[in-house]
């Protein structure tokens, strides 16, 4: 870096010293919590730096690159058929004095060729198999792991066990007996990248390619803030609030990295930054003084002590000076800290007379408050409104964040705010990862990353929970041991009501520190799934203001209610999942593990609703499906769906004959009634499950239709009818293309949505059936729909001709059709696309490229079902006409959303915005 100068405190700049001497950081266990000495340095002269892009990696052969899909895998992969060089799984390290932060990428294990149906749809929609970038992004997963530096051998064992230095265990080029690749390179930053170079060479046969720490720090922060939707959050009075930042308005900002010391960096753009200030009073100061004063053996032990502390026994408050009164003239309350440790000079006490808990809390507040104050003054100096704090000193610790936040708010008089990062400790490692050429990460957008939280993820809130690696059997065995001991997998800590933390260290809390444990606000880091084919739904009226979730789970009563619903449904779900796998002993064991895992997730969310980022009902329901898939229950309702589909298809022909005998107006209302009536078949509803035990699928459907009486609770049918049929002699043109978001298998899709699709086709409207990419409850999937359409087409010329035009009837499907082919006039196509989703709800900010392409020419959207049109998207607005149809099958939702009752119907029509 330019402008290095002698440090008046250390004698030589911390960065220069670290690189020339190979770092003199102590790697003993008691050093936990201390980052590199680099942060202690005062600022160099301002300069602008750009991240170095190394050319040391093998290059990609992009010829004939194609997106590969899998019916049971949401995340697509780019297959490079002509690649000859080994492209290892990217791996990067940030080796600090106390912690090693590791980021690695894993590719998908399976590849499959697109079927004929998908190829036909892609051709019709104009979707190319080639990637839109100059080089492909390898679809896969980004993992975050940490190790204590003094346990570096565990880190090396981890890398070796997964063969990350040789391309990963899924790399076809790796053989157990193969000699080490002398040219293998791993990107690394931090002082340990110099100190442990020889060790990595000896143990793994790899070279550490050293990247500049500050370059990596800024690159990692920029990526997270642009690519992760809920990366940044504020923390005041114990309350965490996520902040969505427009990537186009990100710069400039102040990045405050708190390690042993503190660096303050003004970031003006990608690769454009200046270290404008810093302080040598940071995490090392807290840990060093804390160790001397309290005899604590670790950084985390010192933090834990602070939770039980009362700093009023040590700190001198304004009220101590003014006889318990405020100093209101200058805006200081009696509880304001006038002098940290000030009481110690006026009392005749020895060190042993003070409680270590009180010392720890006072020390933590003193250092955190001053960091916040200095950070704000530097932000003020450059006119910066946003300040992001990172570094493992923070570790999601509630008091630390509250103190820093209050300092920024107090001195800025509310004009600036402190924000924190969920991946705060991994900025350097992620920046080093991004220094690899041609991985394409810097091109990823927020809608192309999906974060999931598998049980046993290596890094959770600063601790390792569960096996950091291993197969499913190892994970289940670990969980069984915990269950046998009667210990919860991730033990929840009951939280006190919000507001018990006072004013975060500048003011005395209203009660002592034990009310809010440090682990009540820990940062859970999941696995980032890189899905380059996810896009924003182009028909949203305003994608920036779009919020999919109708239900506000930040309301504690709502969260408690829905978690109770999911908990009560869990035993039934386990029984169904186990039965879907034949009820084997292995299935039962996996079912028990799934139940314990999902229960642990729910317990964690009750403890801290923001533990996994901003929580909506869609996220909660998809978490359940992710947990099922994690324990290899790919499609728990498979047999149920097959049985219901067969029963519904058996009576479809009679229904279509009945509809054809009606007038156009009567047929339209009957079709909408049919959709609403058929939507009762929802295995996610406890009320509906009870109904299933009282009659057959057809009996329930007929009963539901017989009870359809208008007006419905939300009834815009007449407006919809006028758009479809017109009034008087004025006949409106048909819609060009309709997207029908289907819901459940069985009667819902066969007797409800397919007849409605048929009516639209009859009127000359192209129809695209939009279904789940992955199974969720008894929802129909895009892989299952073509077979259902083929069966339905055997008895309907309209469906058959449209399905053939849309590429749904191919190969063996065609041979089973009855009757002659239609060779008359051209027909509009019936197509099926996947939505990119694996849950019962849908977030339209992340849909498949197929759906996004199909939407570009659509002028009608029909969202059907509770998950897609009530739980999510009830308030969504679109650029085209939208019809939202659902039967309400939840008492609370009926009351709060539509002021109605269970089994009320919603027919909400909204013309184009």
In tens, the pLDDT along 54-96 reads 333 333 343 444 444 433 333 333 344 443 333 345 799 999 8
Is residue 677 domain-shared with residue 777, that is, in the same domain? yes
**What is the number of residues in the chain?**
913
Q: What is the mean pLDDT of residues 143-165?
A: 85
List, for residues 777-789, the tens digit of each pLDDT value: 999 999 999 999 9
More confident residue, 44 or 482: 482
- How far is it, in rounded angstroms, from Cα 271 to Cα 24? 29
Judge whether 452 lies within some domain.
Answer: no
pLDDT value of residue 483? 52
Write the Ramachandran bin of 880: left for phi over 0, alpha for psi from -120 to 50, otherwise beta.
beta
- How far is it, in rounded angstroms, from Cα 246 to Cα 419? 15
DSSP for residue 789 = H
Return the minimum-mean-pLDDT range out of 167-171, 288-292, 771-775: 167-171
**For residue 635, pLDDT beyond 90:** yes
Judge whether 733 lies within some domain.
Answer: yes
Binned at pLDDT 50, 70 and 90, residue 255 comes out as very high
pLDDT value of residue 444? 77
Is residue 689 domain-shared with residue 749, that is, in the same domain? yes
CATH number at residue 84: 3.30.420.40
Is residue 541 within 8 Å of residue 913, measured between CB atoms? yes
Judge whether 189 lies within some domain.
Answer: yes
Instruction: Print the SS3 string covering 666-702.
Output: HHHHHHHHHHHHHCCCCCCCHHHHHHHCCCCHHHHHH
β-partners of residue 528 are 142, 451
pLDDT value of residue 486? 43
pLDDT value of residue 723? 96
**For residue 715, pLDDT beyond 80:** yes
List, for residues 830-850, the tens digit of each pLDDT value: 999 999 999 999 999 999 999
Judge whether 673 lies within some domain.
Answer: yes
**For residue 542, pLDDT beyond 70:** yes
Is residue 311 within 8 Å of residue 361, measured between CB atoms? yes
Neighbours of 423 (CB within 10 A): 24
Is residue 420 domain-shared with residue 274, that is, in the same domain? yes
Judge whether 47 lies within some domain.
Answer: no
pLDDT value of residue 61? 41
Give the global pTM: 0.81
Name residue, tokens 């299952």.
784
Q: What is the mean pLDDT of residues 702-725?
A: 90
Return the minimum-mean-pLDDT range out of 209-223, 479-493, 757-771: 479-493
Q: What is the mean pLDDT of residues 228-234?
A: 91
Q: What is the mean pLDDT of residues 282-305?
A: 90
**For residue 724, pLDDT beyond 80:** yes
Beta-carbon-side half-sphere exposure of residue 415 (alpha carbons within 13 Å): 10
Is residue 777 domain-shared with residue 863, that is, in the same domain? yes
Q: Where are the alpha helices (DSSP H) in 555-663?
A: 556-580, 585-607, 617-630, 638-660
pLDDT value of residue 559? 93
Is residue 605 domain-shared with residue 689, that is, in the same domain? no
Q: What is the mean pLDDT of residues 286-301?
A: 90
Is residue 899 domain-shared with residue 801, that is, in the same domain? yes
Judge whether 611 lies within some domain.
Answer: yes
Q: What is the mean pLDDT of residues 658-674?
A: 95
- How far is it, in rounded angstroms, from Cα 847 to Cα 841? 12
Percent of the chain with pLDDT over 90: 47
Q: What is the mean pLDDT of residues 294-319?
A: 87
Encoded tokens for 902: 């269970």
DSSP for residue 114 = P
From residue 466, how far is each of 310, 395, 597, 603, 604 by CA, in Å? Answer: 34, 19, 11, 16, 15
Using N-to-C axis directions, what is the helix angle for 617-630 and 556-580, rounded to 10°? Answer: 30
pLDDT value of residue 440? 61
Of 394, 390, 385, which is closest to residue 414 (Cα–Cα)? 385
- How far is it, in rounded angstroms, from Cα 625 to Cα 683? 14
Is residue 895 domain-shared with residue 792, that is, in the same domain? yes
How far the first Cα of the chain sits from its last, in Å, is 53
Label residues 618-637 b or e (16+ Cβ within 10 Å = b): bbbbbbbbbbbbbbebebbb
**For residue 381, pLDDT beyond 90:** yes
pLDDT value of residue 461? 42
**For residue 821, pLDDT beyond 60:** no
Is residue 539 within 8 Å of residue 861, measured between CB atoms? yes
Is residue 754 within 8 Å of residue 798, measured between CB atoms? no
Out of 435, 461, 496, a domain closes at 435
For residue 533, the surrounding DSSP H or E stretch is: none
**For residue 114, pLDDT beyond 70:** no
Is residue 234 domain-shared with residue 259, that is, in the same domain? yes
**For residue 29, pLDDT beyond 50:** no
- How far is it, in rounded angstroms, from Cα 210 to Cα 152? 18
Neighbours of 699 (CB within 10 A): 11
Is residue 735 domain-shared with residue 882, that is, in the same domain? yes
Q: Where are the alpha helices (DSSP H) in 274-397?
A: 283-294, 299-306, 318-321, 356-382
CATH number at residue 863: 3.40.50.10880
Encoded tokens for 605: 């969310």
DSSP for residue 507 = B
**SS3 at position 27:** coil
Q: Please give the distance of CA 36 from its chain centroid, rounded to a whole number.
A: 30
Instruction: Print the SS3 string covering 866-880.
Output: HHHHHHECCCCCECC
Judge whether 633 lies within some domain.
Answer: no
Q: What is the mean pLDDT of residues 472-484?
A: 70
Q: What is the mean pLDDT of residues 876-905?
A: 93
**For residue 167, pLDDT beyond 70:** no
What are all long-range contacts of 603-607, with beta carbons under 8 Å and residues at least 24 apart? Answer: 603/488, 603/490, 603/492, 604/490, 604/492, 604/524, 605/559, 605/563, 606/492, 606/559, 606/560, 606/563, 607/492, 607/493, 607/494, 607/495, 607/520
Q: What is the mean pLDDT of residues 288-305?
A: 90
**For residue 903, pLDDT beyond 50:** yes
β-partners of residue 739 are 768, 861
Of 360, 606, 340, 312, which is closest to residue 488 (Cα–Cα)? 606
Q: What is the mean pLDDT of residues 800-810?
A: 89
Is residue 857 domain-shared with residue 732, that is, in the same domain? yes
**SS3 at position 634:** coil
Binned at pLDDT 50, 70 and 90, residue 43 comes out as very low
Average pLDDT, the chain: 78
More confident residue, 65 or 222: 222
Q: Where are the alpha helices (DSSP H) in 818-888?
A: 849-855, 866
Burial of 476 (0-12, 13-18, 19+ CB in 10 A): buried
- How far is it, in rounded angstroms, from Cα 429 to Cα 216? 7
- How far is it, in rounded angstroms, from Cα 760 to Cα 289? 74
**For residue 516, pLDDT beyond 50:** no
Neighbours of 2 (CB within 10 A): 9
In terms of residue numbers, what domain contains 274? 226-314+354-435
Percent of the chain with pLDDT over 70: 73
Binned at pLDDT 50, 70 and 90, residue 32 comes out as very low
Of 207, 211, 200, which is closest to residue 160 (Cα–Cα)? 200
List, for residues 190-219, the tens digit of each pLDDT value: 999 999 999 999 999 999 999 999 999 999
Judge whether 513 lies within some domain.
Answer: no
Name residue, tokens 């009830």.
874
Is residue 858 domain-shared with residue 718, that is, in the same domain? yes
Q: In this structure, is the dihedral angle defined by the CA atoms of residues 617, 621, 624 and 625, taken in order, positive or negative?
A: negative
List, for residues 320-370, the tens digit of each pLDDT value: 777 667 666 666 677 778 898 989 888 888 898 999 999 999 999 999 999
- How far is it, in rounded angstroms, from Cα 882 to Cα 635? 30
Encoded tokens for 545: 């203001």
Binned at pLDDT 50, 70 and 90, residue 721 comes out as very high
- How far is it, in rounded angstroms, from Cα 294 to Cα 281? 18
**Is-cis flag, bond preceding 191, omega within 30?**
no
- How far is it, in rounded angstroms, from Cα 553 to Cα 477? 33
Beta-carbon-side half-sphere exposure of residue 701 (alpha carbons within 13 Å): 21
Q: What is the mean pLDDT of residues 364-386?
A: 94
Is residue 600 domain-shared with residue 667, that is, in the same domain? no
Out of 435, 460, 475, a domain closes at 435
Number of domains in the chain: 4
- How far is it, in rounded angstroms, from Cα 785 to Cα 772? 10
pLDDT value of residue 246? 87
pLDDT value of residue 499? 29
Binned at pLDDT 50, 70 and 90, residue 682 comes out as low
**For residue 146, pLDDT beyond 90:** no
Q: In this structure, is the dihedral angle defined by the CA atoms of residues 707, 710, 711 and 715, taken in order, positive or negative?
A: positive
Of 161, 170, 182, 189, which is closest to residue 88 (Cα–Cα)? 170
Strand duo 737-741 + 860-864: pairing:
parallel
Which residues lie below 8 Å from residue 154, measured CB to CB, with a gap of 6+? 147
**For residue 38, pLDDT beyond 50:** no
Encoded tokens for 158: 């981890």
- How far is it, in rounded angstroms, from Cα 576 to Cα 641? 12
Q: Which range, 107-121, 691-705, 842-856, has the best average confidence (pLDDT)?
A: 842-856
pLDDT value of residue 485? 46
């Amino acid at each position: 870096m330019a402008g290095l100068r002698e440090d008046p405190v250390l004698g030589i700049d911390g960065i220069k010293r670290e690189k020339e001497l190979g770092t003199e950081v102590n790697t003993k266990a008691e050093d936990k919590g201390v980052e590199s000495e680099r942060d202690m340095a005062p600022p160099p002269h301002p300069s602008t730096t750009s991240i170095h892009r190394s050319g040391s990696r093998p290059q990609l052969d992009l010829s004939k690159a194609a997106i590969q899909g899998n019916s049971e895998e949401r995340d697509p992969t780019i297959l490079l058929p002509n690649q000859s060089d080994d492209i290892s799984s990217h791996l990067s390290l940030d080796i600090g004095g106390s912690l090693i932060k590791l980021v690695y990428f894993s590719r998908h294990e399976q590849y499959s060729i697109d079927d004929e149906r998908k190829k036909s749809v892609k051709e019709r929609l104009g979707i190319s198999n080639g990637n839109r970038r100059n080089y492909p992004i390898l679809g896969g997963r980004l993992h975050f792991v940490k190790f204590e530096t003094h346990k570096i051998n565990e880190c090396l064992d981890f890398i070796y066990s997964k063969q990350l230095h040789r391309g990963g265990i899924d790399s076809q080029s790796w053989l157990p007996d193969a000699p080490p690749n002398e040219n293998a390179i791993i990107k690394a930053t931090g002082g340990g990248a110099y100190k442990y170079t020889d060790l990595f060479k000896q143990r793994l046969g790899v070279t550490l390619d050293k990247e500049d720490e500050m370059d990596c720090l800024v690159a990692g922060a920029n990526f997270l803030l642009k690519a992760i939707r809920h990366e940044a959050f504020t923390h005041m009075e114990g309350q965490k609030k996520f902040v969505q930042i427009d990537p186009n308005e990100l710069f400039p900002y102040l990045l405050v990295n708190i390690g042993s010391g503190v660096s303050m960096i003004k970031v003006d753009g990608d690769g454009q930054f200046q270290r404008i200030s810093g302080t040598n009073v940071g995490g090392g100061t807290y840990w060093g003084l804390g160790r001397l004063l309290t005899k604590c053996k670790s950084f985390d032990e010192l933090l834990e002590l602070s939770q039980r502390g009362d700093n009023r026994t040590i700190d001198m408050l304004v009220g101590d000076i003014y006889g318990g009164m405020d100093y209101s003239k200058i805006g200081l309350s009696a509880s304001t800290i006038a002098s940290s440790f000030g009481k110690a000079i006026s009392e005749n006490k020895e060190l042993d007379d003070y409680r270590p808990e009180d010392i720890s809390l006072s020390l933590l507040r003193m250092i955190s408050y001053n960091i916040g104050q200095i950070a704000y003054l530097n932000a003020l100096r450059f006119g910066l409104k946003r300040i992001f704090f990172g570094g493992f000193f923070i570790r999601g610790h509630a008091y630390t964040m509250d103190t820093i936040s209050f300092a920024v708010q107090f001195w800025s008089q509310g004009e600036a705010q402190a924000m924190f990062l969920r991946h705060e400790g991994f900025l350097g490692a992620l920046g080093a990862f991004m220094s690899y050429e041609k991985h394409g990460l810097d091109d990823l957008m927020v809608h192309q990353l999906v974060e999931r939280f598998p049980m046993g993820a290596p890094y959770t809130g600063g601790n390792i929970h569960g096996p950091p690696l291993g197969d499913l059997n190892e994970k289940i065995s670990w969980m069984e041991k915990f269950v046998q001991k009667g210990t919860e997998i991730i033990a929840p800590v009951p939280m006190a009501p919000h507001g018990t933390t006072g004013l975060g260290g500048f003011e005395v809390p209203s009660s002592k520190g034990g009310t809010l444990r440090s682990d009540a606000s820990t940062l859970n880091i999941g696995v980032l799934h890189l899905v380059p084919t996810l896009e924003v739904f182009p028909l949203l009226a305003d994608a920036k203001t779009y919020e999919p979730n109708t239900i506000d789970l930040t309301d504690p009563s709502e969260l408690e209610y829905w978690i109770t619903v999911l908990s009560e449904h869990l035993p039934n779900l386990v029984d169904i999942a186990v039965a879907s796998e034949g009820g084997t002993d292995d299935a039962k064991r996996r079912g028990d593990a799934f139940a314990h895992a999902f229960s642990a997730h729910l317990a964690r969310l009750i403890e801290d609703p923001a533990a996994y980022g901003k929580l909506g009902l869609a996220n909660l329901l998809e978490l359940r499906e992710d947990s099922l898939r994690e324990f290899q229950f790919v499609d728990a309702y498979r047999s149920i769906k097959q049985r219901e589909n067969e029963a519904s298809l058996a009576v479809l022909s009679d229904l279509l004959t009945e509809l054809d005998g009606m007038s156009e107006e009567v047929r339209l209302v009957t079709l909408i009634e049919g959709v609403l009536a058929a939507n009762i078949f929802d295995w996610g509803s406890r009320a509906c499950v009870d109904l299933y035990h009282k009659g057959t699928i057809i009996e329930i459907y007929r009963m539901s239709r017989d009870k359809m009486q208008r007006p419905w609770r939300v009834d815009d049918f007449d407006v919809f009818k006028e758009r479809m049929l017109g009034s008087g002699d004025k006949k409106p043109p048909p819609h060009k293309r309709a997207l029908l978001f289907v819901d459940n298998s069985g009667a819902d899709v066969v007797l409800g949505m397919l007849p409605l699709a048929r009516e639209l086709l009859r009127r000359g409207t192209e129809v695209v059936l939009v279904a789940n990419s992955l199974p969720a409850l008894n929802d129909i999937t895009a892989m299952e729909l073509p077979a259902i359409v083929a069966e339905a087409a055997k008895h309907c010329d309209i469906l058959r001709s449209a399905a053939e035009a849309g590429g749904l009837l191919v190969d063996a499907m065609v041979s089973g059709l009855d009757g002659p082919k239609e060779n008359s006039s051209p027909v509009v196509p019936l197509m099926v696309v996947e939505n990119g989703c694996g849950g019962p709800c849908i977030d339209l900010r992340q849909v498949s490229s197929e759906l996004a392409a199909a939407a570009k020419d659509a002028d009608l959207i029909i969202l059907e079902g509770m998950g897609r049109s009530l739980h999510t998207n009830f308030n969504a607005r679109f650029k085209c006409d939208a019809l939202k149809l659902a039967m309400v099958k939840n008492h609370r939702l009926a009351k709060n959303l539509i002021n109605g009752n269970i089994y009320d119907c919603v027919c909400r029509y909204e013309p184009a915005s």
